[in-house]
Amino acid sequence: MNRFFLAVLLFYCTSSLAQLSNMIVFGDSLSDVGNFPESSRVWWDPQGKKDLHNIVPQLYVPFSNPVSTQTDNPYLAKQAPIENNKNPRKYRSISWPQYFLIDAKNKKLLPSDYIAPSNLLNTQKIPNAISFNYAWGYATSEKNCVNPHYQLIKNCDSKSIYDARKNYEENPSHQNYLKLEIPGLFQQLQLFTQDYHANKISVDKNTVYAFWIGGNDLIIAANELRKRGNPFPALKFIFGGVEKNELKNISILIQQLPVNQRPKNIYALELFNPGLTPGFYHTKIASIANFFVKCANFWLRWDTKLFNLFSNTKIVIMPVYQWYENDSENTLFQAHMGQACQLNFKDYTNPTIIPKTNCMGFMFWNAVHPASGMNKRVAELFLNQIIDKKSHFSKTSGTLC
C-alpha cells in the first residue's frame, strides 16, 4: 500500500511539471533559424575596410557563428555557398530557440528538438507536431512588411514573401535583395494563423510561444533621429510603441486559438542593453540607446501587468536585459567586450574550416548578434524560468510536490 501511494505521488509530482509539446517563435534576427536567406557574400564591399559596418550580418543564418558540422534535423533551410569558394558549407550556426529545444529534450520535457523555419512549409511536407519559427531577420514590430533597408512594403502576403525569397535565392543580385519581403510581427501572426488553419502546424495548451522583437525598431528610430533629425520614431519607441504592438499581437494570437488550446503562459523577451554590443560599445550614442531600451522594457512590464489582469493566459517577461548585464561581468566575456568574434579570425570565410576557439570568450558574433556562448545562456536561462514557473504554479495550486 505504501509503495502504491509513493508511486502515485511521484507520478503526480512529475505530471505537475507539465510536459512541453513544441515551440512557436516570433521575432527578428535574434531568433531567426533560417527564414531570412543566408548570404554568399562576406563583405558588403570586398574592397572596403574590413570592419563592423562592412560585415554582411546574414553570412550565417541563424545570425551567429557556425558551430555544428552534423545535425539529424532534416527541416533546415538550404545553405548558400560562400563567395569565391566551390566547397559546400560544412558548418551551421545555431540560435537560442534551437539550444532551448535541445536542452528541453535532454531533460525529457519535449518529444522532439526539431524546429523548422516557417518558410519551408511552402515547399515541404513537415510533421506538424514539431516546433516552428516565424521570426525573420530585419523584422520590426509593425504591421507591414519591410525590405532589408527597412523600406515599407504594404501589400505583402505569404505568396509574395515566399516568391521574393525564392527569386533572391535563384538570383542573389542587389536588386532582388532589396525586393525581399520581411514580415513584421502582425504579418508573422497571419502566416502562423494560415498554417494553423491549414493543419500545417499543431499546437496545444503546452506549446511554448516566444516573442522577441524591437531591435530593428530601435535601429530605425536611431537612424531617423541621427541622419534625418526626425524625432517621431524615437518618441514612439520611448513611449512604448513596440510593446503596444507586441501585446496587441499576443492578444490576437490568444483569440485565434480555441479555449482548450490556449497556453497558460506566453513568453515575451526583453531587449538587452545595446551598449554591450560591438556596434555601440564606447560610442557616444550607447547611453542614449540604452535609455531607449530601458524605456521600452519599462512599458513592456507595465503594459503586461495590465494585460494579465484581464487575461487567463498570462504574459511572462523574460528578464533578458539583466541576463546580459550579469554575463557582461562574467570573466569569460570581459576580455573581449566590445569586440566582434567575426573580425578576430579569418577562417570564417572558409566553408570547411572554423577556428578551434570559435568565439570562445566572445559575447557577440558581429555588430549586434550574440555568439553561440550567449545563445546557449539565453536558452538555458529561458528554460530555467519555465521550469521555475511551472514548479511555482504547482506549489500555489496546492499540490504536494
Cell of 242: 513596440
C-alpha cell at 191: 502566416
Query: Count of alpha carbons within 13 Å of 211, Cβ hemisphere only?
Result: 28
> How much is the average pLDDT of 204-225?
97
- Evaluate whether 37 touches 223 at the Cβ level (below 8 Å): no
C-alpha cell at 17: 511539471
For residue 391, the enclosing domain spans 24-396
Q: Would you say residue 16 lies in a domain? A: no
* Residue pair 133/211 in contact by the 8 Å Cβ criterion: no
* Whether pTM exceeds 0.95: no
Q: What are the distances in angstroms from CA 162 to CA 213, 232, 244?
A: 21, 32, 28
Three-state DSSP at 352 gives coil
Task: Identify whether the C-beta of residue 34 lies closer than 8 Å to the C-beta of residue 124.
Answer: no
Q: Please, which pLDDT band fits residue 370 given cuts at 50, 70 and 90? A: very high
- 62 cis-preceded (ω within 30 degrees of 0): yes
Where does residue 268 rank: exposed (0-12), middle (13-18), buried (19+ CB within 10 A)?
A: buried
- Does 1 score more than 90 pLDDT? no
pLDDT for residue 391: 59
Number of domains making up the chain: 1
Q: Is residue 59 part of a domain?
A: yes
CA distance 212 to 99: 16
Whether 18 is in a domain gets the answer no
Alpha carbon distances (Å) from 335 to 163, 331, 372: 44, 7, 17
User: For a pLDDT cut of 90, what percent of the chain falls above it?
Assistant: 84
Question: Does residue 110 form part of some domain?
Answer: yes
Residue 309 lies in a domain: yes
Specify if 74 maps to a domain. yes
Q: What are phi and psi of 113, to 5 degrees?
A: -105, 10
**What digits encode the pLDDT tens for the residues 70-111?**
677 889 998 999 998 989 999 999 999 999 999 999 999 999
Task: Establish if 13 belongs to a structural domain.
Answer: no
Answer yes or no: is 202 within a domain: yes
* Cβ atoms of 95 and 65 closer than 8 Å: no
- Strands, E, within 250-359: which ranges? 265-269, 314-318
E strands, 81-130, in order? 92-93, 115-117
Q: In degrees rounded to 5, what are phi and psi of residue 125?
A: -90, 110
Instruction: Collect all residues with Cβ–Cβ distance below 8 Å to 305 and sequence separation of at least 6.
Output: none
Residue with the three cell numbers 518558410:
119
Cell 512529475 sits on residue: 14
Residue 317, helix vs strand vs coil: strand
| Cα–Cα dist 266/344, whole Å | 38
Q: What is the pLDDT of residue 14?
A: 42
At 145-170, the pLDDT tens digits run 999 999 999 899 999 999 999 999 99
pLDDT digits (tens, 9 = 90+) for 229-280: 999 999 999 999 999 999 999 999 999 999 999 999 999 999 999 999 999 9
- Annotate 50-87 with three-state secondary structure: CCHHHECHHHCCCCCCEEECCCCCCCCCCCCCCCCCCC
How far the first Cα of the chain sits from its last, in Å, is: 20
Of 36, 20, 220, nearest to 135 (Cα)? 36
What is the CATH classification number for the domain harbouring 118? Answer: 3.40.50.1110
